[in-house]
Amino acid sequence: MDRKGILIVVSGFSGSGKGTLMKELLSRYPDTYALSISATTRKPREGEEDGREYFFISKDEFEKMIAKGELIEYAKYVENYYGTPRAYVEQKLKEGKDVILEIEIQGALKVRKSFPGTLLLFVTPPSAQELKARLVGRGTETMDVIRSRMDRACEEAEGMDSYDYLIVNDNLDSCVEELHEIIQGEHHRSFRNKAFMKDIREDLKRLKGED
């Protein structure tokens, strides 16, 4: 059976561990998944590299990409623009990869509108206290930024019901496997296998007529 790639959106509170989870998923199953790299106007954090975590671009460049239709979606998040470049996603889906977009909720809902079969996953830590501890523990932001990310988390928590699955990132190892199983299970949904069903129906009729 031809394997068609699934478009997957992974959202979750900043600090919930999405980045860590994705890195682990990709390293365990490099042939199955492709992770889209977003463009952003935010400044790189220490250790981040242009073209690896994000394409770090100026506001001008970002606006040009919007104008040329080169982004599937974009959103403003805590004063910066973030967007998903179209070309890579379309290419990888064509190759049969499951393509993951790690984006926030406004973008997630826009993607589902333009790509109706999109699978929406929401990652959360086991508790609010744990979220704050992870944000502080990561040590990449000032207390001010952490506060605005906690505010944003309150807003985002209201949108969790729009997602297909809730992924609780408690133990990293088991969470990665859970994610993989959910996504791979999704391939068996009947609406994703219309071509197969059509073929087998036709073959059954043909076979029936042969005797």
Residues that bind ligand ADP (CB under 6 A): 12, 14-20, 134, 137-138, 169, 172
**Which residues are CB-contacts of 82 (< 8 A; sequence separation ≥ 6)?**
38, 39, 40, 41, 42, 74, 75, 76, 103, 104, 107
**At residue 42, what are phi and psi to the nearest 5 degrees?**
-75, 155
Fill in the DSSP letter of residue 191: G
User: Whole-number minimum distance, CB 190 to ligand ADP, in Å?
Assistant: 33
Residue 42, contacted partner among ligand ADP, ligand 5GP, none, CB below 5-8 A by kind: ligand 5GP
What is the 3-state composition of the chain as percent helix, strand, coil, each rounded to the nearest 5?
50, 20, 30
Residue 152, contacted partner among ligand ADP, ligand 5GP, none, CB below 5-8 A by kind: none
Q: In what order do the strands lie in the sheet with 71-77?
A: 54-56, 38-40, 80-85, 71-77
Residue 83, contacted partner among ligand 5GP, ligand ADP, none, CB below 5-8 A by kind: ligand 5GP
Nearer to ligand 5GP, 101 or 183 (CB): 101
**What single-letter amino acid sits at 77?**
Y
75 binds ligand 5GP (CB under 6 A): yes
Report d(CA 17, CA 173) in Å as an integer. Answer: 12
Residue 38, contacted partner among ligand ADP, ligand 5GP, none, CB below 5-8 A by kind: ligand 5GP
Per-residue binder mask for ligand 5GP (CB under 6 A), 93-112, x = binder = ---------xxx-xx-----
Nearer to ligand ADP, 12 or 107 (CB): 12
Per-residue binder mask for ligand 5GP (CB under 6 A), 110-149, x = binder = ----------------------------------------
**At residue 158, what are phi and psi to the nearest 5 degrees?**
-70, -20
Cross-strand bridge partners of residue 40: 56, 82
User: Whole-number minimum distance, CB 110 to ligand ADP, in Å?
Assistant: 20
Residue 185 to residues 75, 99, 177, 188, 190: CA-CA distances in angstroms?
A: 30, 15, 12, 6, 11
Nearer to ligand ADP, 87 or 139 (CB): 139
Sites of contact with ligand 5GP (CB under 6 A) = 14, 38, 42, 73-75, 77, 82-84, 102-104, 106-107
